[in-house]
Structure 1
Amino acid sequence: MSDSKDSLLGNEDPIDPPPAYDPPKPTRGALPRPPPLGLPVLNALRNKRVILASQSPRRRQIISFLGLPNIEIIPSNAEENLPKTLTPFEYVLGTATKKAQAVYEQEISNETAGEPALILAADTVVVNIEAGTILEKPRSEAHHVSMLRALRDARDHKVFTALVAMAPLASARQPGYAMESVVEETNVRFDGEVTDELILAYVRTREGADKAGGYGLQGLGSILVEKIDGTADNVIGMPLKATLKLIETVMARADDEDRLPDDPIFEEDEDEDAF
């Protein structure tokens, strides 16, 4: 019997060894990045078109951790005009769904670039529980200051991020695509001792000007926050664990050539196209 490590592990063919536990030498001006996950679904997508229907640099950075080299950034042109009378769950999911569908319809027949293998869209909103209002991006400096003061005075608020994934069905059966979605929720508590002076100074950095709720947890905005209950990357705008699970689910549904038409996998949710 061979006493080689490959034989002991039951590997017939040699494989690349995993990275060493010795910390890599940092590259000047850049933080070290983890090696790509060797999951089958990610390996299959690495040579295909994957579209992120968002221009958010935070979402682009977070999804880059999955090691997909062909991610294209194609922001949706869908209007984000759903009524604020919807529940936060309905509002954020409806908006993300509209984004995904708009980019899918635009790119599915792209003769130059080819059919996309996966489209991901996301939307994030902050909800002031005390006032019962859905907050998106601040419209002006005065609005920005008012928004952060209200969050401080209320202390607790919620952040909802909806993720929607679409992939063409291998069989091309109607409706032609698989679509899956998930909504993540995180509770955030602001520090009640944050002063108006600090809020104004933060607003004038403009870090939070393009962010729902007007602050960035991953940056200077963390000085406004006392604690969170839930995932931090959900507050930033793209929960990575939920994203990976969503990709695995939608790609499994899209690979439908060997399934019967009456397979439960084809049963669409009743409200999937409600938005």
Structure 2
Amino acid sequence: MIELPRGFRLVLASGSPRRSDLLTGAGLEFEVRPADIDETPLDGESPIEYVRRLSIGKAVEVVRPTEVVIAADTTVEVDGAILEKPIDADDARRMLRLLSGRAHHAHTGVTVAAPGHVDTIVVSTAVTFVELTDEMIDWYVATGEADDKAGGYGIQGAAAAFVERADGSVTNVIGLPLAETVAMLRRVCATVTPLSVD
């Protein structure tokens, strides 16, 4: 699907198995090299600014010569507040109660970088949950799915039963808007000068 510039390799700057699965499903071969940056939100930073900044920071931290890097960061926004990964089961329950019976937004910042090239977008998807009872929330938290997911849920797992509707990219809610990422990858690869053959 994607032809990398001659002599270049593709790197995913994320340890997320969900992002790896999405890229593998699109037929891409890549190395996984998670970025290690401070993900603390800045004072007054909007959720969209937050994911954009982190995706750029991750890409820039990881990229090396002869590499094309994909970096991403996803957050869930409700009432203007950033919902990151829950710190424990009680925090996951708190998040799910906030999301119950209403719409929220999943934002993913994606950056594709190569030496001298950086392309960044933010994709947003509106997700509406059904009303959640305490029993439904307790059941979901007990599955363990909430533990490492922004907003305390994964749309690709058991929480799909909570989703009344999703307006926009579903892969974005999973953690990587695939169509947009592939388009960015094509653009960046087209601008990179392939290595010469001696």
Which category describes the TM-score, using the shorter chain as reference length?
over 0.9
Structure 2 counterparts to residues 165-244 of structure 1, below 5 A? 165-168=112-115, 177-192=116-131, 194-244=132-182
- Alpha-carbon shift at residue 144 of structure 1 (Å): 0.6
Return closer, same or farther for 1:58/1:218 CA change in 2, 3 Å cut-off. Answer: same
Aligned to 1:93: 52
Compute the TM-score of the two structures, normalised by the length of structure 2.
0.92
Return closer, same or farther for 1:98/1:165 CA change in 2, 3 Å cut-off. Answer: same
Structure 2 counterparts to residues 1-275 of structure 1, below 5 A? 37=1, 42-44=2-4, 48-69=8-29, 71-83=30-42, 85-104=44-63, 108=64, 115-129=65-79, 132-153=80-101, 155-168=102-115, 177-192=116-131, 194-255=132-193
Compute the TM-score of the two structures, normalised by the length of structure 1.
0.67
Among all aligned residue pairs of Structure 1 and Structure 2, give the percentage whose two residues are the same amino acid.
38
- Alpha-carbon shift at residue 75 of structure 1 (Å): 0.4
Aligned to 1:10: none
Q: State the 4+ residue runs in structure 1 displaced beyond 3 angstroms.
A: 44-48
Kept in 2: contact 1:59–1:238 (CA 8 A): yes
Q: Equivalents in 1 of 2:139, 2:76: separation in Å?
A: 21
- Structure 2 unaligned runs (5+)? none
RMSD: 1.8
Q: Which has the higher helix share?
A: 2
Query: Greater RCO between the two (CA within 8 Å, min separation 6)?
Result: 2
- Alpha-carbon shift at residue 45 of structure 1 (Å): 5.4
Return closer, same or farther for 1:84/1:141 CA change in 2, 3 Å cut-off. Answer: farther
| SS of 1:44 mapped into structure 2 | coil
Kept in 2: contact 1:46–1:68 (CA 8 A): no
Return closer, same or farther for 1:256/1:60 CA change in 2, 3 Å cut-off. Answer: closer
Q: Kindly provide the amino acid, as one letter, of the partner of residue 245 in structure 1.
A: A
Q: Which has the higher strand share?
A: 2
- Alpha-carbon shift at residue 203 of structure 1 (Å): 0.5
The structure that has the greater radius of gyration is 1
